[in-house]
Amino acid sequence: MGITDQPQNCNYPIRRPAIQGLCQETVHILHNSLVGLVYLRRSLEDAKLQVDRSYDALRESEKLLRRLRMQGF
């Protein structure tokens, strides 16, 4: 994989901050931020999957159209 290539599998862990000794409000904010990052990552992975499926459908449609044109439709 090159320097600019994106990894195919984004299941690397999100680093969690050390929370020992922090006030409860700060811990709550950090927790909500971490949950938000997890949701964002999942959303991006889902969007990538949907885009990939759309490209697959496009290629299949082009193949079908090409076959139909060859058959005289």
Range 56-66 average pLDDT: 97
| Residue-level pLDDT at 18 | 78
Write down the pTM of the prediction: 0.60
| Residue-level pLDDT at 57 | 97
Mean pLDDT of the chain: 84
pLDDT digits (tens, 9 = 90+) for 17-39: 677 888 889 989 988 998 999 99
DSSP conformation letters of 6-54: PPS---PPPPPPP-TT--HHHHHHHHHHHHHHHHHHHHHHHHHHHHHHH
Give 3-state DSSP helix, strand, coil % of the chain, rounded to 5: 65, 0, 35
pLDDT digits (tens, 9 = 90+) for 51-60: 999 999 999 9
